Structure 1
């Protein structure tokens, strides 16, 4: 499957695909083409969708690469869901993205990234888009997938990536924690109050508008017991491709944010030019388990030192299993000489 042999006219191609076709970006194309090794185009439409809509296909290719990197066996003989895993234990996984609302600004763009003016509002909108993506895949499961013989009695995992607005990755894990567990990390209040610990709120709903509230905390009770876990990839973006590309001559700098080694609230910020920067395929990827799942996904299925995993203990407290240098955020820009 050649992803970069154009099958649609230029005017139908996605902006990011057109960028990727630049002659100088061969190493970046090699990364994505490498992700496709062993991937099966079951309906004969994947290359066209990759070249025209891009983001959902890009996310699916990344997940394929992740599952292979974790040593899982994939069975592409079924038409759905997106991934049928047969070993080390059988489960199924459906991929989706959080897309912009109708009329909203797409995630892709050019120019210098703009920091959101109001992170509270930025996070609220991100939560709403994640809720929409999550519930749509639950409906798909209940109406269709659950009836399939190869799906029945297997854990069902939803894999979501946020592409709902420019710089969607700035929200990090805040919106997904609210969406799944009803816990909101309020950095705005934390900073304003100079609190010693991060201020958190328990949420049951998030306002969509003056008359509509959207329920959150999908994993706070058994309402979604048919979903075993959520895989979440806020940093599976163009920046991931640039990080993995074998192009040490690139005049770019990576600014990354990691948990602080001390007890303070301020995270650790690191900077490295491309030639010195190292990032793993799995860096920045999360797995969130549902404590009410009727078919639980064992916590060790995604056991890898680079992954961030959220487990709910028997006492219902959340347990984070993340590397000390977990990739919370990544920004890529040109090297600025002093």
Structure 2
């Protein structure tokens, strides 16, 4: 057997973990059989301070689950040797040895097309066929075997009409799993109900799609000039965010018995046009709290923002009141969460980090990150080589949590550690707490062939670099 990273183990078998297990056992090492058919885990008993090895094999639905374990031993080295012997013995067992008896239905091949080629989503075709997206496919496949298709149409829509929406749901599933939530699979509404050691949460996924007239997609307005971009962020995008959020509000999820007393969160992603999410974060913040900020300086001369209350957003003949959290019924929504990272590029990067082969392709990630300098008026720019030693990333990285100041059930920040948490009071005073490295937006470039050597030579440094905007 070979030792693997925690991230790889989590990508393949982490969905089987009971969040309560951390109370009794500490995970100390992870392993994989050479053929990848069996995984191993060594734990330390927190009470007795001894060690044991656990083996995970594929059940009847091809999900890795616990099947057997070693005795508890007085050292990690002895537990490792015992685990190696256990895995060797298990390699001789038939596949049925690992079946649990509680599986329902047959395993699904998520990448076998269910539609004619012309009906498949372009991004699905990329994942299913292009080698540069094999890392994304590698990390999505085991994840989707655990994602319960309560609506009955997840795979069909993932391949065709709702690829972006389904990728967003998979991203949220990955975040919740990473944060230690056990998910309730008995209810289809809302999308996720989870419980962790820190409490429970209910999440409904929301997406912003393109404007459609009949069968035609209406392109977004131009953003070539500073004035055009300001209008786009001040009015066009707040209206785009407002429409699906208000529609979700009318469904009154808080009246569902299964989430009584649980904080309800709307998780929204912008897929209104290619690359739009890179720019639209400020528009969401403006719409949620109903404030814009005029650049000024405080008494010490430091850059500051003067809050200005917004009453409405107007674009053409559309007028939407500003301030989602000001809507009376929105008091039942504890927070809105969002990120620019719920895309196929995220899955591709995480796939590389989890050890799924990217071939000879190098991934270069470029973006902006929060500048910790109190005098900073712009974010830092960063560039990173995803394949390089020293690069790390988590699913929750870059997630923003916008807390509702009027929430009937406030959301405890401890439920979503690793995210940036934002608060805004009735006077528009804004406070945020964020991790040391908190990306605001990024793009990922795939570099292959002879260009790899040139890119590495130009980068010439650590896995990630930072610099200030000129």
TM-score of the two chains, using structure 2 as the length reference: 0.62
Residue 12, structure 1, aligned to residue 119, structure 2: yes
More divergent stretch after superposition (8-17 vs 264-273): 264-273
Residue equivalent to 1:82: 191
Once residues 223 and 148 of structure 1 are traced to their aligned partners in structure 2, the CA distance between those partners, rounded to angstroms, is: 15
Residue equivalent to 1:318: 430
Once residues 139 and 163 of structure 1 are traced to their aligned partners in structure 2, the CA distance between those partners, rounded to angstroms, is: 22
Q: CA deviation at 1:69?
A: 0.6
Once residues 318 and 151 of structure 1 are traced to their aligned partners in structure 2, the CA distance between those partners, rounded to angstroms, is: 29
Alignment counterpart, residue 64 of structure 1, candidates 173, 192, 205: 173
Alignment counterpart, residue 98 of structure 1, candidates 188, 208, 229: 208
Q: CA deviation at 1:116?
A: 4.9
- Structure 1 residues 186 and 2: alpha-carbon distance in aligned structure 2, compared to 1, 3 A threshold: farther
Q: Is the 8 A contact 1:116 1:122 kept in 2?
A: no
Higher relative contact order (CA 8 A, sep 6+): 1
Once residues 256 and 180 of structure 2 are traced to their aligned partners in structure 1, the CA distance between those partners, rounded to angstroms, is: 25
Once residues 233 and 269 of structure 1 are traced to their aligned partners in structure 2, the CA distance between those partners, rounded to angstroms, is: 17
Once residues 186 and 76 of structure 1 are traced to their aligned partners in structure 2, the CA distance between those partners, rounded to angstroms, is: 46
Once residues 240 and 43 of structure 1 are traced to their aligned partners in structure 2, the CA distance between those partners, rounded to angstroms, is: 25
Q: CA deviation at 1:86?
A: 3.4
SS at match of 2:269: strand
Once residues 94 and 115 of structure 1 are traced to their aligned partners in structure 2, the CA distance between those partners, rounded to angstroms, is: 31
Alignment counterpart, residue 139 of structure 1, candidates 228, 246, 250: 250
CA displacement, residues 4-57 of structure 1 (integer Å, 9 cap, x when unaligned): 122222121111101111241321201222432521111321100110120111
Gaps of 5+ in 2: 1-107, 353-357, 459-470
CA displacement, residues 173-229 of structure 1 (integer Å, 9 cap, x when unaligned): 201111111123579x99xxxx944576432211032x4421111224645111111
Residue equivalent to 2:367: 256
Q: Is the 8 A contact 1:100 1:165 kept in 2?
A: yes
Q: Is the 8 A contact 2:181 2:194 kept in 1?
A: yes
CA displacement, residues 266-324 of structure 1 (integer Å, 9 cap, x when unaligned): 3211212332243221111111111111122223211x13x111135798743211113
Alignment counterpart, residue 321 of structure 2, candidates 199, 205, 215: 215
Once residues 134 and 221 of structure 1 are traced to their aligned partners in structure 2, the CA distance between those partners, rounded to angstroms, is: 11
Alignment length (residue pairs): 321
Q: Is the 8 A contact 1:126 1:171 kept in 2?
A: no
Residue 332, structure 1, aligned to residue 444, structure 2: yes
The RMSD of aligned alpha carbons is: 2.9
Residue equivalent to 1:73: 182
- Structure 1 residues 23 and 237: alpha-carbon distance in aligned structure 2, compared to 1, 3 A threshold: closer
Q: CA deviation at 1:264?
A: 2.2
Residue equivalent to 2:134: 26
Once residues 363 and 287 of structure 2 are traced to their aligned partners in structure 1, the CA distance between those partners, rounded to angstroms, is: 34
Residue equivalent to 1:284: 398
Once residues 141 and 274 of structure 2 are traced to their aligned partners in structure 1, the CA distance between those partners, rounded to angstroms, is: 25
Gaps of 5+ in 1: 108-113
TM-score of the two chains, using structure 1 as the length reference: 0.85
